[in-house]
Amino acid sequence: MDDRTEILRQLMKQVGISSFQILSDRTGISRRAFDTLRKGNAATLRYADLTKLAEVLQIEVTEVIAKFIGDSNNPESPSLAISALREEYQRLQQKLEQQKLELRSQFERETIQQLESLILQLPSAAHAAQQNPNMLAKNILPLLRPLDILLQKWGITAIDSVGKEVAYDSHKHQLMEGSYEIKEGDVAIVRYVGYMQGEKLLYRARVSIAI
């Protein structure tokens, strides 16, 4: 494999970079990686590194690949390397998308936990305010509308509504402490709503027996 140091130096000169150390600092690529590059083994480097190098040298990444990958006497070598690197890039993109989804899901879970007291008790407070026009709470209820919009955006829906009579279902209802025993299908009254996120149960609605 021929040495490509001079090719790299010429590209560096065109953008005013005088040393490999400066190039390393600007690209964030290690000196060892540049040794690999100069030997024509750039195919072993990460696609992200080649992209950053191309950006700093102000050339296309395909040109970096053509100049520093494979056998310069074999015109098909760069094309094969480009294909392999594109596959790696696609895998990295898929991995990043998956990580973004996981981070978003984690953020939503942590936010829901922080808001747990509010989202569980707010509907009950709203119900009480609606039943008593003299309660000052009724005046601030519209200010809490953004919370409802946020929950909707995250695909979170309420289980039943406060004051509603429902057939008791242990999968989505929780009998409040101090209540009598209850069987599946018995009539109960919702005291605190529960929540679902898609098919996932977040909180069961808290109910008491209808007397």
pLDDT digits (tens, 9 = 90+) for 10-61: 999 999 999 889 998 999 988 888 888 888 777 777 878 888 888 999 988 8
With residue 101 as reference, give the H or E element that holds it: helix 77-114
Torsion from C-alpha of 135, 121, 194, 123, nearest 10 degrees: 20
Element (H, E) at 130: helix 116-131
Instruction: Output b/e per residue, 131-146; b: 16+ Cβ within 10 A.
Output: eeeeeeebeeeeeeee
Burial class of 125 by CB neighbour count within 10 A (0 to 12, 13 to 18, 19+): middle
Q: How confident is the model over 88-130, as pLDDT tens digits?
A: 667 777 887 888 888 888 887 777 776 777 777 777 777 777 7
Mind listing the pLDDT tens digit for each residue in 64-86?
Answer: 877 877 554 445 445 555 666 66
Largest CA distance in the chain: 90
Cβ atoms of 126 and 143 closer than 8 Å: no
d(CA 44, CA 46): 7
Helix 5-14 and helix 47-57, axial crossing angle in degrees, nearest 10: 50
At 99, the amino acid letter reads Q
For residues 14 and 25, the answer to whether their CB atoms sit within 8 Å is: no
Domain locations in the chain as residue ranges: 5-105, 116-209
